[in-house]
């Protein structure tokens, strides 16, 4: 391979790696404002009620998403390997450091379960409680399913360093205007 071709391949690879860590704005509806240790925080406004998203990506096809708006909060668990019927009702067992509870879940789509905060029977306070505890440094959560899906350990203990970023996102929901996030590249204009 010629030296120029090797250099070009390295430049393309470096650009791809650099852009992977940059905030994402897709059609003006999603803005990813922070990430750390497999967790990401985003501001989402897709025409409905804007919300803050707190997303864990296991990098193995399993994800957990917490969505919080000013009026509601929801929790989605997704596995790319699942093929679920629509609106399947089930229960999952959620275990923290010192307590355990069974909570309802329903199929949100063929790959996702909506946990605890079901349509028509919202428990936004419970989901918000998990988010707030995670932001204070709670222990990881264990989720056990009724079927043959192995238990998941959701690393909520890794969220704590992003407390200020999530608080800024919630503030942005309240103010309906962008909040200035400190970053390595800023511009006074």
Q: Report pLDDT for 19.
A: 34
pLDDT at 62 over 80: yes
Half-sphere exposure of 39 (CA within 13 A, CB side): 22
- Distance set, CA 177 to CA 22, 100, 168 (Å): 21, 39, 11
- Average the pLDDT over 50-74 and give the result: 94
On the 0-12 / 13-18 / 19+ scale of CB atoms within 10 A, 39 is: buried
Q: Which residues have CB under 8 Å from 132's CB, separation 6+?
A: none
Which are the contacts of 47, defined by CB distance < 8 A and separation ≥ 6?
29
At CA 79, angle to CA 142 and CA 100, rounded to 5? 20
pTM: 0.75
Q: Distances from the Cα of 140 to the Cαs of 84, 96, 157, 182, in angstroms?
A: 26, 7, 5, 28
Query: 109 or 8: whose pLDDT is higher?
Result: 109
Which pLDDT band holds residue 65 (cuts at 50, 70, 90)?
very high
Summarize pLDDT for 139-188 with one digit per residue, the tens. 999 999 998 999 999 999 999 899 999 999 999 998 865 555 555 666 66
Per-residue confidence band for 15, with pLDDT thresholds at 50, 70 and 90: very low
CA dihedral 8, 14, 19, 21 (to 10 degrees): 170
């Amino acid at each position: 391979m010629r030296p120029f071709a090797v250099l070009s391949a390295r430049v393309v690879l470096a650009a791809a790696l650099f852009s992977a860590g940059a905030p994402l704005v897709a059609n003006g509806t999603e803005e990813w404002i922070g990430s750390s240790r497999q967790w990401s925080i985003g501001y989402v406004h897709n025409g409905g009620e804007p919300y803050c998203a707190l997303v864990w990506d296991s990098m193995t096809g399993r994800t957990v998403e917490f969505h919080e708006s000013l009026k509601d909060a929801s929790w989605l668990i997704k596995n790319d390997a699942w093929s679920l019927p629509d609106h399947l009702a089930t229960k999952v067992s959620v275990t923290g450091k010192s307590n355990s509870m069974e909570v309802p879940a329903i199929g949100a789509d063929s790959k996702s379960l909506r946990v605890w905060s079901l349509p028509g029977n919202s428990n936004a306070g419970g989901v918000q409680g998990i988010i707030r505890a995670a932001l204070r440094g709670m222990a990881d959560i264990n989720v056990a399913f009724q079927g043959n899906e192995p238990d998941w350990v959701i690393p909520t203990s890794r969220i704590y360093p992003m407390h200020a970023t999530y608080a800024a996102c919630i503030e942005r929901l309240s103010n309906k205007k962008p909040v200035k996030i400190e970053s390595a590249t800023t511009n006074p204009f």
